[in-house]
Amino acid sequence: MSVTSPQIPQPESSSKHAEQPTQRDHVYFFDTTLRDGEQSPGCVMHSNEKLRMAHQLAALGVDILEAGFAIASEGDSESIRTIAREVGASPNAPVIASLARAKREDIEAAARSIEPATRGRIHTFLSTSDLHMAAKLNITREQALDQIGAMVALARTYSDNVEFSPEDATRTDPDFLVKVCTVAIQAGATTLNLPDTVGYCLPQNYADMFLNVRAHVPGIENIILSAHCHDDLGLAVANTIAALQAGVRQVECAINGIGERAGNAALEEIAAVLVTRRDQLPYEHHINMKQLYPTSQMLSTCISFGAAPNKAIVGKNAFAHAAGIHQHGVMANPVTYEIMTPESVGVPHNSLVLGKHSGRRALEHRLIELGHKLSHEELDAVYHRFTELADRKKTIYDQDLISLLQQTKATVPA
């Protein structure tokens, strides 16, 4: 059962937010569904599925499409090349990125994989926290700085679009992180991504990290800062928004929030926040909002699970109302309980779910949709039977309502 949604009134902007947008008012969406997303259990996609998703992500309007990790396998490398050729070859196509460790063989493999794209990017990374450098890489800080400088410079010989990520940035010593960022920029990085690799940060911590590097890294005003957040504490989207408020202008995210462990920041949630709270976040972007739900649905057909029912924006229950008080409000004016219209994100319509929490108004509304206009007495009688049935049965179907209606008409005088 659906209710037509009127236009949501938008808060008035302050004079500051009403200014003409500049380059720094644009947020770039870096989608990693096909790379970090595919790395999570149950999310492996075949090459034809990755290509289909890549076409849809281009239609969605992502700016950068991270198509895979070229060195991982010959199949992944060929999949990136196919996407670069078939999705990334037009002038208006997204930038096609390939991930690479800060190693020569990785960077060379990434460079080969993005060759067919009109615009390609090499995204290289190296762990910089003392924990990772000691336990995983067995290198010193000085060795890390040398490796970052050499490998970013190597990547620049293949592409003028190079992103560097200091893995585990949020657990990296802040003074050392400044040195890392300085070396990466001097070596030619054009985008600097500071990831919350293990989802450890609180929003203010994450914002402060970016404010610190912005204050102390020479030349940082000439590059794009990027946020990449994981959801281990359920804060990936909140941390990403905090980063935007601290000057970040690229957000790394995935459809339905899929990704390593608890997942990445969900692209659809970030996009919806930017549109719904434009009064606080007055940034432009290229996302076609009406493609959010279709993209989510397509991903669900490519991997082994769909979005959780209570998933924001694209979940089955995101625009469903079950409580009688909420149903009454939504029927009077959907804005009472919906801060965006379902149609604005590509969902066909909202729905009123009939169950033991529903009121007379919702029941009457559904019966009218089914072609039955009842008198006050008939509605009371049907509603009484409806509540008795709802206490015994979790799901009420239209045929149940018709049966109740027939029982009532047999007992209520005309």
Q: What is the DSSP string of 362-402?
A: HHHHHHHHTT----HHHHHHHHHHHHHHHHH-S---HHHHH
Which pTM was predicted?
0.85
Q: How large is the greatest C-alpha to C-alpha distance in the chain, in angstroms?
A: 90
- The CATH topology of domain 25-302 is TIM Barrel (3.20.20)
Cβ-based burial of 244 (10 A; exposed 0-12, middle 13-18, buried ≥19): buried
**b/e per residue 62-100 (b: at least 16 CB within 10 A):** bbbbbbbbbbeeeebbebbbbbbeebbeeeebbbbbbbb
**b/e per residue 314-328 (b: at least 16 CB within 10 A):** bbeebbbbbebebbb
Query: Are the C-beta atoms of residues 395 and 365 closer than 8 Å to each other?
Result: no
Q: What is the DSSP letter of 264?
A: B
List the one residue out of 131, 136, 101, 96 whose CA is nearest residue 116: 96
List the one residue out of 93, 97, 164 whose CA is nearest residue 128: 164
Distance separating alpha carbons of residues 124 and 71, to the nearest angstrom:
12
Domain coordinates of the chain in residue numbers? 25-302, 319-414
| 3-class state of residue 227 by DSSP | strand
What Å distances lie between residue 132 and 71, 146, 171, 235, CA to CA?
A: 21, 16, 9, 22
Backbone angles phi, psi at 124, to 5 degrees: -110, 155
Backbone angles phi, psi at 22, to 5 degrees: -115, 180
Cβ-based burial of 19 (10 A; exposed 0-12, middle 13-18, buried ≥19): exposed
Six-digit token pair at 169? 């940035």
Distance separating alpha carbons of residues 155 and 237, to the nearest angstrom:
30
pLDDT digits (tens), the chain, 414 positions: 554 444 444 444 333 333 333 446 999 999 999 999 999 899 999 999 999 999 999 999 999 999 999 999 999 999 999 999 999 998 899 999 999 999 999 999 999 999 999 999 999 999 999 999 999 999 999 999 999 999 999 999 999 999 999 999 999 999 999 999 999 999 999 999 999 999 999 999 999 999 999 999 999 999 999 999 999 999 999 999 999 999 999 999 999 999 999 999 999 999 999 999 999 999 999 999 999 999 999 999 999 899 998 999 998 878 777 666 677 676 778 777 777 888 999 988 777 677 778 887 888 877 887 788 888 888 888 888 888 888 888 877 778 888 888 887 656 555
Pairing relationship of beta strands 224-229 and 191-196 according to DSSP bridges: parallel
Q: What are the contacts of 369-376 at 24+ separation with CB within 8 A? A: 369/1, 370/398, 370/401, 370/402, 372/405, 374/405
Q: HSE, CB side, 13 Å, CA atoms: give it for residue 216.
A: 15
